[in-house]
Structure 1
Amino acid sequence: MDNLLEICNLQTSFFTYAGEVQAVRNISIDLRVGEAIGIVGESGSGKSITMMSLMKLLDDNGKIKNGKLLFNGSDLLDVSEKGMQRIRGNEIGMIFQDPMTCLNPVFTIGNQLIEPIIKHKKVSKQEAFKRAVHMLSLVGIPSPEERMKQYPHEFSGGMRQRVMIAMALSCDPKLLIADEPTTALDVTIQAQILELMKDLREKLGTSIILITHDLGVVADVCSRINVMYGGTIVETGTTRDIFYKSKHPYTWGLLRSVPNPKTLVKERLIPIDGTPPDLIKPPLGCPFAPRCDYAMKVCMTNRPPLFEIEGQHKSACWLNHPKAPKVESPLVRRDS
C-alpha cells in the first residue's frame, strides 16, 4: 500500500527571549492511504506542533529547521503559501482542539460551511449549500437545513465538534488531522465522535491522524500508534504492540495511569512522577530518564536509538539493547 504521507527527520524549533525551544526533535512518521494512526503523549510532547508544521501554520517565531514533509509525493516545504492555501481544507482537513474558538460566533454555521466549499470546489452557492447540508447529515446532525441558519452558541459541545468534522471533510480531503477532538466532551459524546470518525474512514476512505494524550481514545480507531515524549518518538508499532507488548517505560506509565477495563477488582491508578523535560536545554540522553524507574547510567548520557523489536514495533529505550538487564513489564501482572 502506498504512503500518502511521509514525515522524515522533522525538526521544529521556536525562538523565544529565553532561548531556542526544540519542540520537535528529528521525528519520522508515515501514513498509508486509507489508514488511521494515532500520536499520543503528554501535553508539550510535540504532537500538535508536528501537525502544525505539516500544515505550515506555525507562529512567527516557529521554524522548521530540517526534514521533509512528503504529502502525496510532493514535499510541502517546497510549496508556497498560496499553494498551501489550496491544500489546507481541500486535500488536508484539520479538526482543532476547541470548536468554540474555531467557529466564528458572528456567522451562521451555514456561512462557515459554504465558504470553503465555494473556494476549493469552485461550485455555485446553491450547490455548496446542498453539499453543506449533506455533510451535516453525514455527521449525524438532525434537521441539517434548519441548523444551517443557526449560530455556534446554539449548538452543544458535541454538536459543534460534529460541525468541525463536517467542515474538515466538506472538500473530500485525502487526509484528516484530528487534534484532541474529544477533549472537551463527556464520555458518551466522545464515544459517538470516535465511532463517527471510524464510519467516515470506512465510507470515504479518508486517512486519519488522531492526536491525543489518552491512549484509550486511539484503541478502537487506529491501526498504528506513535508515542511521543520530549519532542521525540519513543515507541511506535501496531495498536496491539503498544497495548500488549509495549517496551518503553513511558508507554507503561501512560497505560498504568488509565483504568483497566479487564480487571474485576478496584485498583489505584499510578501517575507518572516528575515533569516533562525543558526543551530549551533538552537532556543529552533519554528524555524520559529523570522520571524513569528503570534508568541506567547510559540513559543519562546517551540518547537511545529506535530499537527494532518485531515487525513495525520499535522502542527508543536502552532496556531493549541485547546487553541490557532483563526487565519485566509491570503491565504483565495487570493484564493477567
Structure 2
Amino acid sequence: MDNLLEIKDLKTTFFTHVGEVKAVGGISFSLKKGEALGIVGESGSGKSVTMMSLMRLLEENGKIINGDIIFEGRNLVDLKEKEMEKVRGNDIGMIFQDPMTSLNPVYTVGKQVMEPLIKHKNMNKTQAYETALKMLSIVGIPSPEKRMKQYPHEFSGGMRQRVMIAMAMVCNPKLLIADEPTTALDVTIQAQILELMKDLKEKINTSIILITHDLGVVADVCNNINVMYGGLIVEKGSKRDIFYSPKHPYTWGLLKSVPNPKNIVKERLKPIDGQPPDLLKPPVGCPFAPRCEYAMKICLSERPPFFSIDEDHSAACWLNHPKANKVKAPVGREEIING
C-alpha cells in the first residue's frame, strides 16, 4: 500500500518576545492510503502544531525551520500560498477543534459548505447547493433544506461539529485531519460523530489523522497510533501494540490515567506527576526523564533513538536498549479496545 503522506524530520518553531518556542522538535511518520492514524498526548505536546504545519496554517510568528511534508509526491513546504490554497479543503480537509470559532458567524451554513465546491470543483451555485444539501443529509443534520439557510449560532454544539465534518468532506478529500473532533460533546453525540467518521472513511477510502487526548476515541477509530510528548513522537505502533504491550513510560502513564470500565470496585486514577517540559529550553536528553520513575543517568544527557520492538512498533526510550536493566512494565489496557 502506497504512502499518501510522509513527514520527515519536521521542526516547527514560534518566535516570541521571550525566545524561540520549539513546538515540534523533529518528527517523522507516514500515512498510507485508507489508514486511520491517531496522534495522542497531553495538551502542549505538539499534536495540533504538527497538523497546522502540515496545512501551512501557522500563526505569523510560527515557522517550519526544517523537514519535508510529502503529500502525493509533492513537498507542501515548498508550495507557494496560491498552490497551497488548492490543496486545503480539496485534497486535505480539516475538522478544527472548536466549530463555534471556526465557522463564520455572518454567513449561513449553506454558503460555507458550498464555498469549497465553487472554489475547488468549479460548480455553479445550483450544483453546489444540491451537493451541499446531500452532504448535510449524509452527516445526519435533520431538515437540511431549512438548515442551509441558518447561521452557526442557531445550531447545537453537536450539529456545528457535523457542519464542520460536512465542510471538510464535501470535496471528497484524500486526507481528513480531525483535531479533537469530539471535545465538549456529550457521550451520545460523540459516538455518533465517531461512527460518522468511520462510515465516511469506509465509503470513500479517505485517510484520517485523528488528534486527541482520549485513548478510547483512538481505540474506536484508528489502526495505528503515534504518542507525542514534548514536541516529539516517543512511541509508534499499531493499536494492539500500544494498548496491549506499550514500551514507553509516558505511554504507561497515559494508559494508567484512563478508567477501567470493567472494574467493579472504584479505584483512583494515577496521574503523571510533574509538568511538561519548557519548550523555550527543551531538555538535552529524553523530554520525559524529569517525570519518569525509571529514568537513568543517560536519559538526562542523551536523547534516546527509536528502538525497534517489532516490525511496526518502536519506542524512543533507553529502557529498550539491549543492555538496559529490565523493568517490569505495567500490563497493557486491552479492555480499552475490547470494552
Report the TM range for the smaller structure's normalisation: over 0.9
- Residue 7 of structure 1 is matched in structure 2 by 7
Report how far residue 61 of structure 1 moved: 1.0
Partner of 2:331: 331
Work out whether residues 10 and 64 of structure 1, in 8 Å CA contact, stay in contact via their aligned partners in 2. Answer: yes
Answering whether residue 72 of structure 2 is matched by residue 78 of structure 1, we say no
**1:98·1:184 contact (CA, 8 Å) conserved in 2?**
no
Using the TM superposition, give the Cα deviation of residue 333 of structure 1 relative to its aligned residue in structure 2, in angstroms. Answer: 9.5
Contact 1:256/1:331 (CA < 8 Å) preserved in 2? no
Deviations 1:140-179 (A, max 9, x none): 1111111101111111100100000000011111000000
Which residue in 2 is equivalent to 1:92? 92
1:255-274 equivalences under 5 Å are 255-274=255-274
The alignment partner of 2:27 has SS state of: strand
Deviations 1:64-89 (A, max 9, x none): 11111000111111211000001100
Quote the residue 2:207 is aligned against.
207
Any gaps of 5 or more consecutive residues in structure 1? none
Partner of 1:237: 237
What letter matches 1:21 in structure 2? V
Separation (CA, whole Å) in 2 of partners of 1:332 and 1:106: 48
Counterpart position of 2:51: 51
Paired position in structure 2 for 1:284: 284
Q: Would the aligned equivalents of 2:244 and 2:333 in 1 still touch at CA under 8 Å?
A: no
Q: Deviations over 1:208-259 (max 9, x none)?
A: 0000111111001000000000000000000000001101010011111111
Instruction: Give the Cα separation in 1 of the matches to 2:264 and 2:220.
Output: 21
Take 1:73 and 1:308, find their aligned partners in 2: how far apart are those partners? Answer: 27
Write out per-residue CA displacement over residues 6-43 of structure 1, whole angstroms, 9 at most, x where no aligned residue: 00010111111111111101100100001100000001
The 3-state SS of whatever aligns with 1:68 is: strand
Within 2, Cα distance between the matches of 1:4 and 1:332? Answer: 30
What corresponds to 1:67 in structure 2?
67
Q: Does 1:180 align with 2:180?
A: yes
Q: Which residue of 2 aligns with 1:275?
A: 275
1:156 aligned partner: 156
> Equivalent pairs: percent with the same residue?
73
Cα offset, 1:93, TM superposition: 0.3
SS in 2 for 1:160: helix
Q: Deviations over 1:92-143 (max 9, x none)?
A: 0000000000111121111111111111110110000000011001111111
Question: When the two structures are aligned, how many residues end up with a matched partner?
Answer: 335
> How far apart, CA to CA, are the structure 2 residues paired with 1:334 and 1:218?
13
Report the TM-score when normalising by structure 2: 0.97
**1:45-73, CA deviations, whole angstroms, 9 ceiling, x for partnerless residues?**
00001011111111111111111100011
Amino acid at match of 1:79: L
1:293 alignment partner in structure 2: 293
State the Cα distance separating 1:206 from its structure 2 match: 0.6
Q: Give 1:66's aligned amino acid.
A: N
Cα RMSD, aligned residues only: 1.2
Whether contact under 8 Å (1:234, 1:248) holds in the other structure is yes
Q: Secondary structure at the match of 1:220?
A: helix
> TM-score, normalization: structure 1?
0.98
2:219 maps to what in 1? 219
3-state DSSP of counterpart to 1:67: strand
Change (3 A) 1:90 1:324: same
